[in-house]
Structure 1
Amino acid sequence: MKSIRVALLDDHAVVRQGLASHLGDAPGIEIVGIYKNSRELMRGMSTVPVDVLLLDFVLGRDELDGVSLIRALRVRFPACRILVLSTHHDPATVSLALRVGARGFIGKDEDLTCLAKAIRVVASGAVYLSAEASYKVVDGIQQSDNSPQLISSDTNVLQLALLSAREQEVIRCYLDGMTITEIAEKFNRSIKTISTQKATAFRKLGITSNNGLFKIMKALE
Structure 2
Amino acid sequence: MKTIRIALLDDHAVVRHGLATTLAAETNFDVVGIYARSRDLIAGLASAPADLLLLDFSLSPDELDGVSLIRALRVKFPCCHILVLSTHHDPATVSLAMRVGARGFVGKGEDMAQLVKAIRKVAAGAVYLSTDMTYRLAETVTSDTGQGGDVPDALVQAELTSREQEVIRCYLAGMTVSEIAEKFNRSIKTISTQKTAAFRKLGVTSNNALFKLNKIIGTP
Q: Which has the higher contact order (CA 8 A, sep 6+)?
A: 2
Runs of at least 5 residues in structure 2 that lack an aligned partner in the other structure: 152-220
Q: Give the aligned partner of residue 115 of structure 1.
A: 115
Shift in alpha-carbon separation, 1:147–1:3, aligned structure 2, 3 A: farther
2:94 corresponds to 1:94: yes
Please give the per-residue CA displacement for 1:89-131, whole angstroms capped at 9, x wherever unaligned: 1111111111100000000011121111111111111101112
2:101 corresponds to 1:104: no
Distance in 2 (CA, whole Å) between partners of 1:49 and 1:143 is: 41
Shift in alpha-carbon separation, 1:150–1:19, aligned structure 2, 3 A: farther
Runs of at least 5 residues in structure 1 that lack an aligned partner in the other structure: 152-221
Q: Aligned ranges for residues 13-162 of structure 1 at < 5 Å?
A: 13-144=13-144, 148-149=148-149
Aligned residues of 1:8 and 1:33 also touching (Cα < 8 A): yes
TM-score by length of 2: 0.65
Please give the per-residue CA displacement for 1:137-170, whole angstroms capped at 9, x wherever unaligned: 223323448974289xxxxxxxxxxxxxxxxxxx
TM-superposed deviation, 1:2: 2.4
Distance in 2 (CA, whole Å) between partners of 1:124 and 1:7 is: 16
Q: Give the aligned partner of residue 12 of structure 2.
A: 12
Aligned residues of 1:92 and 1:140 also touching (Cα < 8 A): no
TM-superposed deviation, 1:85: 0.3
Aligned residues of 1:83 and 1:103 also touching (Cα < 8 A): yes
Please give the per-residue CA displacement for 1:36-84, whole angstroms capped at 9, x wherever unaligned: 0101101100100100000000000001110100000000000000000
Aligned residues of 1:10 and 1:59 also touching (Cα < 8 A): yes
**How many aligned residue pairs are there?**
151
Aligned residues of 1:107 and 1:133 also touching (Cα < 8 A): no
Structure 2 counterpart of 1:23, one-letter code: L
Distance in 1 (CA, whole Å) between partners of 2:146 and 2:19 is: 37
Distance in 1 (CA, whole Å) between partners of 2:104 and 2:150 is: 21
Structure 1 counterpart of 2:86, one-letter code: S
Shift in alpha-carbon separation, 1:16–1:147, aligned structure 2, 3 A: farther
Structure 1 counterpart of 2:19, one-letter code: L
Aligned residues of 1:10 and 1:37 also touching (Cα < 8 A): yes
TM-score by length of 1: 0.64
Aligned residues of 1:106 and 1:133 also touching (Cα < 8 A): no
Structure 1 counterpart of 2:44, one-letter code: G
